[in-house]
Structure 1
């Protein structure tokens, strides 16, 4: 009996530590937060949906770089495509091109040593950002830089859901084919991607480059009006809430993880009650434990209110998209989940051109056609094991 109370006491202290660490860490984080606001821009935008197609284009543009290459990924792995990527960066650096590579400390943790070894002695500048640090180790370990930004010569930018690894080029049998949305941006918007990369670089490397005009060449206007929206565990929820509350006809959501939190869940229910059509597309097979079960409590209620929910069947769906009334389309790095809303550093692109939105809507409709409609019964009649997983998922949904 004495041992039991000792164990309970230890568990209580551990839970209390995590709670205090997280609460104080977030409070200080929000107090220091300096939000970035960018104006409307005009750029030419192309969307890629497959890894082989994206990386063929990206690597071709990297080979043509003349001045500087700035890349931020959440994940770079230890495999063939990652080695090819790093070799290309080394080659460009040897040619005299400035090459800066920034990776999230947690996201690329498994390959951190191999990446460092492979780039050791090269002219590529490498930093790992968002490493856990005192005094709030737990909170800082949960705040991740989830942006995936590439800027080449300050003129060509990439942003979206792909990272560097074999699963992203359809070489993981369990997750193939990998379906994702990634943007190539040429025009005014590239300066905002560059600014955010250099701002994150300054925080991680303690080197300020945002004032260097060499990284901000003159950019011509492109075809599509858009706005880049950075967020840091704050602000994204507010912008999504405003869009959803302004919807008059239809809301379309595509996300690998649907864990909206109280505010957006309430907004979606209100939209359905006022007659707005809601369509949600999620993967059938998840890539992380418990994320599927964490969505059930939200999907059940939305289905009751008339939402349409699709489960993607043709591989793994990792795209992040929100379309409101064919008037605004968001594609970026943020998932429709608590981690993206309350913890991660994200970057999204809101586009307002009706012709662009019509084209992207067609892509999303195609993905819906390769999906299965799910009913209330599909996610309500759970076996005991799935029920237990859902209960656990609910309690830790913020950290999934």
Structure 2
């Protein structure tokens, strides 16, 4: 009996391994490569949930023609229901409303709420439902983009989803810090519409890629999935001459990205990393410890945000270049998730982001190698266990 059970377990593990390997190969080959360079002149940064929802809901209520939204997570609480009511109201008034949500991220939403949306005329779709072939791989491939396009004029992207935790109403996580941006430029809204359409159809055509190097361009949208972000991240890190600053809820880089960071430290680049002291998922904090310990040993400055939960996704290179968007600094975002990030070199636009990050550092404390060594045995054991599946974190 034991032999049969062992054989079945080994077959399941073999199936998962083959499924994952072949799925990765298939989606990496299939994934389009696209980016869009442009000139951004107006960008509003929001760092608090109330600030985000107040402005976002006002823009939704002002919509006259179209509302296209993609969220990774939508909750089953009061703010989520208010969001649904607004979409229903706008749809009933004649506005074309489409809502795309990640299949895994909306499991908590009751079916009756989705039915009400559909009955009001809202087009609702769940992205990336796992299916054969490559079932296990697709379970790990999430649409992590959090974007909205209103009347083809206003667009949003960043870290906020819809739920009470983003308002700081989750007792465990407390105050929630995130970065989300509002852009009021038709050319960017048009590209965001293409991204939304691509995700909605789950197949081509891919968003327009202009890849121009015009001197007037100060920004670029990086639209990534299936390993593209890892390549981008290595390129960005390799360009650093003076400093690299990373703010992320997770710090679980791929081997190639981590080697690039170590090389940057080796050539004298100052590395600063800000991550939350609290963890919102099992093992993600412990999985980061070996990486954090090593970069600290080689001269990096690492800070724990202890004023609630830190969900920001931001990178600064040499104080002249800023990346802000939907991607975490982890292997899931680098290798599997569908993400969109905005790279900005306009100093006037970077200034409020830099100021917000400085405020976040003030709400943090520096982590030392000694402090990591003195962490509880349970944390160290979790760190060891997390190495077995860190590629899925």
Q: Which residue of 1 aligns with 2:316?
A: 323
Q: Which residue of 2 aligns with 1:97?
A: 95
Cα gap change, 1:22/1:91 in structure 2, threshold over 3 Å: closer, same or farther?
same
Post-superposition offset of 1:344: 0.3
Instruction: Give 1:235-384 correspondences, 5 Å limit.
Output: 235-384=228-377
Provide the secondary structure at the position in 2 that maps to 1:330. Answer: strand
Provide the secondary structure at the position in 1 that maps to 2:133. Answer: coil
Give me the whole-angstrom Cα distance separating, in 2, the residues matched to 1:349 and 1:242: 15
Q: Does structure 2 conserve the Cα–Cα contact (< 8 Å) formed by 1:224 and 1:353?
A: no
Post-superposition offset of 1:238: 1.4
Instruction: Give 1:1-400 correspondences, 5 Å limit.
Output: 3=2, 5-111=3-109, 113-187=111-185, 188-203=187-202, 225-400=218-393
Q: Which residue of 2 aligns with 1:216?
A: none
Give me the whole-angstrom Cα distance separating, in 2, the residues matched to 1:371 and 1:169: 20
Give me the whole-angstrom Cα distance separating, in 2, the residues matched to 1:115 and 1:203: 24
Post-superposition offset of 1:15: 1.0
Give me the whole-angstrom Cα distance separating, in 1, the residues matched to 2:246 and 2:35: 24
Give me the whole-angstrom Cα distance separating, in 2, the residues matched to 1:209 and 1:300: 40
Q: Deviations over 1:247-306 (max 9, x none)?
A: 111100000010011111111111111111100000000111100000011111100000
Give me the whole-angstrom Cα distance separating, in 2, the residues matched to 1:284 and 1:382: 13
Post-superposition offset of 1:114: 4.0
Q: Does structure 2 conserve the Cα–Cα contact (< 8 Å) formed by 1:258 and 1:282?
A: yes
Give me the whole-angstrom Cα distance separating, in 1, the residues matched to 2:350 and 2:62: 30
Q: Does structure 2 conserve the Cα–Cα contact (< 8 Å) formed by 1:326 and 1:358?
A: no
Q: Does structure 2 conserve the Cα–Cα contact (< 8 Å) formed by 1:151 and 1:158?
A: yes
Give me the whole-angstrom Cα distance separating, in 1, the residues matched to 2:113 and 2:232: 36
Give unpaired runs (5+ residues) of structure 1: 212-222
Q: Deviations over 1:195-250 (max 9, x none)?
A: 1011111228x9x9989xxxxxxxxxxx9831111101221111111111111111
Give me the whole-angstrom Cα distance separating, in 2, the residues matched to 1:82 and 1:230: 27
Post-superposition offset of 1:16: 0.8
Q: TM-score normalized by structure 1?
A: 0.93
Provide the secondary structure at the position in 2 that maps to 1:251. Answer: strand
Give me the whole-angstrom Cα distance separating, in 1, the residues matched to 2:165 and 2:306: 16
Q: Does structure 2 conserve the Cα–Cα contact (< 8 Å) formed by 1:41 and 1:226?
A: yes
Q: Does structure 2 conserve the Cα–Cα contact (< 8 Å) formed by 1:281 and 1:309?
A: yes
Moved more, 29-38 or 291-300: 29-38
Give me the whole-angstrom Cα distance separating, in 1, the residues matched to 2:364 and 2:37: 37
